[in-house]
Structure 1
């Protein structure tokens, strides 16, 4: 998040969202130590983002969406807060199509942020149903047992 704050336009703001007061306090302390003044840290959940409609240009998520039990709500909130022409960049874990339920459950238990993994096709379908376009899902690493790290990119139409 601090790297993003340094990359936005001079008058831009980078928002960080967390449901944990302890993590928010740590993030604020890290921002102060790094002398980053354009970072804002919000208490909330990814299913109910405390920002107005069409208020951000880019949403970045790192291995968090899998942890939500309501992925359609997460993607709808992401779409809601994005300005037309906005884009998303998500790093997440995806599951191979042919994983049987027991192997998938074992693999998800072993890999820290893999609970509730989607296949690439499931991810793409949910993004498209939400209204995202230009969807790409690129596996970038093997997490073992049929799980893969992936970069998910998409945009909100103008």
Structure 2
């Protein structure tokens, strides 16, 4: 337990720093998503799958160049739906989801870092988004009622969770019958070097805590999900190589789009 709390505390501390840094960008282990240079926010977002129309719809302070894909793009959101974002950060994907579900819809973001919540709430208030809310909590134990949301999204956050199976179980709990899971995340495709698994920086940087692809599938099945699809992003190698240039992390982790459905 002490080790888990140490890891969780390190992750929270790092993303606090990211939140305070704001739109200057960077991931949980340093400038440039584990690299050493400044972040090209627009270029990074484009490589993850966000187009100019997407980026024009969100408050400027919400885009910090984080993530490993665009879960909203595959979620098939409809007018009036309720959406839950696991690890919502500055609110970028929540604001995109809001533009899809409209005024009749509702979007909830959950994050364990108070500074991220403060930033996201500020972005929502300044933009006048009354149907977007942000709640403090851990994604393993969501502060959300049973069977209350239509779609669960997440962008490169579940790999940070210390109990990923519990994340999927709780996501299943809060989904309505027939609800959908649409996630972008980093997964392991080959054995991770021990030094990577032991490095708190690599864990906070969305690499050291990645689970194997088939482990993810088994966790989803055990939670009760059906119609499971795990699809690597076409430019996964380029995304991962840009995070830690010259370290070869793209040889054992990859960016995947993870989709599933709750029966009903």
Give the secondary structure class of the aligned counterpart of 1:118.
coil
- Cα separation, 2, equivalents of 1:110 and 1:87: 27
- Cα separation, 1, equivalents of 2:202 and 2:143: 31
Native 8 Å contact 2:192 2:208 kept in 1: no
Larger proportion of helix: 2
2:228 is equivalent to residue 122 of structure 1: no
1:27 is aligned to: 120
Larger proportion of strand: 1
Return the offset for 1:34.
2.2
- Cα separation, 2, equivalents of 1:110 and 1:42: 24
- Cα separation, 2, equivalents of 1:79 and 1:22: 27
Using the size of structure 2 for normalisation, the TM-score is 0.56
Give the secondary structure class of the aligned counterpart of 1:50.
coil
1:9-20 aligned within 5 A: 9-20=102-113
User: 1:15-69, CA deviations, whole angstroms, 9 ceiling, x for partnerless residues?
Assistant: 0001122111110111122221110111111011111100000000111111111
Return the offset for 1:9.
4.5
Unaligned stretches of 5+ residues in structure 2:
1-93, 241-249
- Cα separation, 1, equivalents of 2:251 and 2:123: 36
Using the size of structure 1 for normalisation, the TM-score is 0.91
1:148 is aligned to: 254
2:189 is aligned to: 96
Return the offset for 1:79.
0.3
Native 8 Å contact 1:91 1:152 kept in 2: yes
Q: CA RMSD in A?
A: 2.0
- Cα separation, 1, equivalents of 2:154 and 2:192: 27
Aligned residues: 157
Native 8 Å contact 2:226 2:260 kept in 1: yes
Alpha carbons of structure 1 residues 3 and 129: separation in structure 2 relative to 1, 3 Å: same
The counterpart of 1:138, out of the listed 227, 231, 240, is 231
Unaligned stretches of 5+ residues in structure 1:
none
Native 8 Å contact 2:159 2:211 kept in 1: yes
Native 8 Å contact 1:95 1:104 kept in 2: no
Deviates more, 1:29-38 or 1:51-60: 29-38
User: 1:58-105, CA deviations, whole angstroms, 9 ceiling, x for partnerless residues?
Assistant: 0001111111111111111100000010001111111114x2543763
Deviates more, 1:80-89 or 1:100-109: 100-109
